[in-house]
Amino acid sequence: MVTPFQQKVYDAIVKIPRGKVTTYKLLAETLRCRSFQAIGQALRRNPFAPAVPCHRIIRTDLTIGGYGGAVSGQKIRRKLNLLRQENVTFSGGKLADPRRIVKIKQPRANK
Protein backbone atom coordinates (compact mmCIF):
# COMPACT_ATOMS: atom_id res chain seq x y z
CA MET A 1 0.00 0.00 0.00
CA VAL A 2 1.28 3.42 -0.96
CA THR A 3 0.67 6.29 1.45
CA PRO A 4 -0.49 9.72 0.22
CA PHE A 5 2.98 11.13 1.03
CA GLN A 6 4.72 8.37 -0.92
CA GLN A 7 2.40 8.98 -3.88
CA LYS A 8 3.26 12.69 -3.75
CA VAL A 9 6.97 11.78 -3.92
CA TYR A 10 6.41 9.34 -6.80
CA ASP A 11 4.29 11.87 -8.71
CA ALA A 12 7.14 14.35 -8.45
CA ILE A 13 9.97 12.07 -9.50
CA VAL A 14 8.25 10.85 -12.65
CA LYS A 15 8.76 14.43 -13.86
CA ILE A 16 12.54 14.03 -13.86
CA PRO A 17 13.54 13.61 -17.51
CA ARG A 18 15.64 10.69 -18.65
CA GLY A 19 19.32 11.67 -18.44
CA LYS A 20 18.75 14.11 -15.59
CA VAL A 21 18.89 13.82 -11.80
CA THR A 22 17.79 15.84 -8.82
CA THR A 23 18.87 15.80 -5.18
CA TYR A 24 17.06 14.71 -2.05
CA LYS A 25 17.20 18.35 -0.92
CA LEU A 26 15.73 19.77 -4.13
CA LEU A 27 13.01 17.14 -4.09
CA ALA A 28 12.20 17.94 -0.46
CA GLU A 29 12.02 21.66 -1.28
CA THR A 30 9.70 20.97 -4.21
CA LEU A 31 7.40 18.97 -1.95
CA ARG A 32 7.72 21.45 0.91
CA CYS A 33 8.99 18.65 3.10
CA ARG A 34 11.54 19.42 5.80
CA SER A 35 12.75 15.86 6.13
CA PHE A 36 15.19 14.47 3.58
CA GLN A 37 14.92 11.23 5.55
CA ALA A 38 11.17 11.02 4.84
CA ILE A 39 11.93 11.47 1.15
CA GLY A 40 14.54 8.71 1.35
CA GLN A 41 12.13 6.35 3.11
CA ALA A 42 9.46 6.91 0.45
CA LEU A 43 12.02 6.23 -2.27
CA ARG A 44 13.25 3.13 -0.47
CA ARG A 45 9.72 1.72 -0.52
CA ASN A 46 9.06 2.58 -4.19
CA PRO A 47 7.17 -0.46 -5.55
CA PHE A 48 7.16 0.99 -9.07
CA ALA A 49 10.92 1.24 -9.71
CA PRO A 50 12.39 1.76 -12.22
CA ALA A 51 9.24 3.05 -13.99
CA VAL A 52 9.01 5.61 -11.18
CA PRO A 53 12.69 6.56 -11.42
CA CYS A 54 13.94 6.83 -7.86
CA HIS A 55 17.40 6.05 -9.25
CA ARG A 56 17.45 9.67 -10.49
CA ILE A 57 17.75 11.06 -6.95
CA ILE A 58 21.26 11.73 -5.66
CA ARG A 59 22.77 13.38 -2.60
CA THR A 60 23.20 17.13 -2.36
CA ASP A 61 26.99 16.66 -2.35
CA LEU A 62 26.52 15.07 -5.81
CA THR A 63 27.44 11.57 -4.67
CA ILE A 64 25.25 8.61 -5.60
CA GLY A 65 23.26 8.29 -2.36
CA GLY A 66 21.27 5.18 -1.59
CA TYR A 67 19.08 2.84 -3.58
CA GLY A 68 16.52 0.39 -2.30
CA GLY A 69 17.73 0.86 1.27
CA ALA A 70 21.38 0.18 0.43
CA VAL A 71 24.35 2.53 0.27
CA SER A 72 26.78 0.03 -1.23
CA GLY A 73 26.87 -3.28 -3.02
CA GLN A 74 24.66 -4.72 -5.71
CA LYS A 75 21.79 -2.22 -5.35
CA ILE A 76 24.13 0.75 -5.77
CA ARG A 77 25.75 -0.91 -8.77
CA ARG A 78 22.24 -1.28 -10.24
CA LYS A 79 21.50 2.42 -9.61
CA LEU A 80 24.78 3.42 -11.27
CA ASN A 81 24.01 1.14 -14.21
CA LEU A 82 20.51 2.60 -14.65
CA LEU A 83 21.98 6.10 -14.63
CA ARG A 84 24.80 5.10 -17.00
CA GLN A 85 22.16 3.83 -19.45
CA GLU A 86 20.78 7.39 -19.39
CA ASN A 87 24.27 8.87 -19.95
CA VAL A 88 24.51 10.10 -16.36
CA THR A 89 27.98 9.29 -15.11
CA PHE A 90 30.01 9.68 -11.95
CA SER A 91 33.70 10.46 -11.71
CA GLY A 92 35.65 10.25 -8.47
CA GLY A 93 32.42 9.28 -6.75
CA LYS A 94 30.57 12.46 -7.80
CA LEU A 95 28.22 13.42 -10.60
CA ALA A 96 30.49 14.08 -13.60
CA ASP A 97 28.27 16.77 -15.15
CA PRO A 98 26.37 18.96 -12.65
CA ARG A 99 24.35 20.39 -15.56
CA ARG A 100 22.38 17.15 -15.37
CA ILE A 101 20.70 18.36 -12.14
CA VAL A 102 17.16 19.63 -12.55
CA LYS A 103 14.73 21.22 -10.16
CA ILE A 104 11.30 19.65 -10.39
CA LYS A 105 8.40 22.03 -10.79
CA GLN A 106 6.03 22.25 -7.86
CA PRO A 107 3.12 19.82 -8.26
CA ARG A 108 -0.22 21.50 -8.65
CA ALA A 109 -2.45 21.31 -5.61
CA ASN A 110 -5.50 19.08 -5.94
CA LYS A 111 -8.73 21.01 -5.72
Query: Which is it for strands 94-95 and 90-91: parallel, antiparallel or unpaired?
Result: antiparallel
Catalytic residue among 16, 54, 95, 104: 54
Q: Establish whether 54 is a catalytic residue.
A: yes
Largest CA distance in the chain: 46
Round to whole Å and give the CA distance between 79 and 66: 8
Which of the residues are catalytic?
54
